[in-house]
Amino acid sequence: MLQGFYYSRLIQQALPYVDAARTAIWGWSYGGYAAGMALATDTDGVFKCGISVAPVTDWALYGNTFDLHRRFMGLPTADDNWSGYLAAQLVTKYEGLRDKEYFLIHGTYDDNVHYQQSMLWSKVLEQNDILFRQQSYPDQDHGLALVRPHLYHSLESFLDECFISDA
């Protein structure tokens, strides 16, 4: 994550047409996790707003023992790498979103990153009075293929609102 902040800041400083006050981050699936984590841990104000589509928010709840991430992270047990799983949880990083604009999107029929991940994250944000926007797509899977026009219009609307508030 730190390299991402570093390079984002370099781009903001090096390119005159990049407005450092209007920089967003977004991602889907692992990218949704990375976008949420980057936004939540950004203490230098690199990103004003962010979007997570179908993010993993708690790796211990993702997949099964044969998934690729288990090869790198091990198992979520005290004997293996429980501390690594705790450190990688997005659901514990909510405070970093307090002063940022955040949009969470997920399909309810996602069989890759289960909808439970976003509902857990939503609950944490709500319990800690973190304001955010949320869009659920009923009966849509991980790819959200049948609602792409609506999805992209929603992303565009969110970014317009995020950046126009500074105009």
pLDDT at 86: 73
The pLDDT score that the predictor gives to residue 59 is 79
Q: Per the structure block, which two tokens stand in for 91?
A: 């659901």
**Mean pLDDT, rounded, for 65-82:** 60
Q: How many domains does the chain have?
A: 1
pLDDT digits (tens, 9 = 90+) for 116-167: 999 999 999 999 999 999 999 999 999 999 999 999 999 999 999 999 865 5
Give the CA distances from residue 74 to residues 64, 68, 71, in Å, rounded to whole numbers and listed in that order: 12, 10, 6
What CATH code is carried by the domain that includes residue 30? 3.40.50.1820
> pTM value?
0.87
Reported confidence tier of residue 65, pLDDT bands at 50, 70, 90: very low
For the record, the structure tokens of 10 come out as 């370099």
Could you tell me the residue range of the domain that residue 76 belongs to? 2-164
Write out the catalytic residue numbers.
Answer: 29, 110, 142
pLDDT of residue 64: 55
User: What's the CA gap between 1 and 39, in Å, rounded?
Assistant: 10
Indicate the average pLDDT of the chain.
Answer: 88
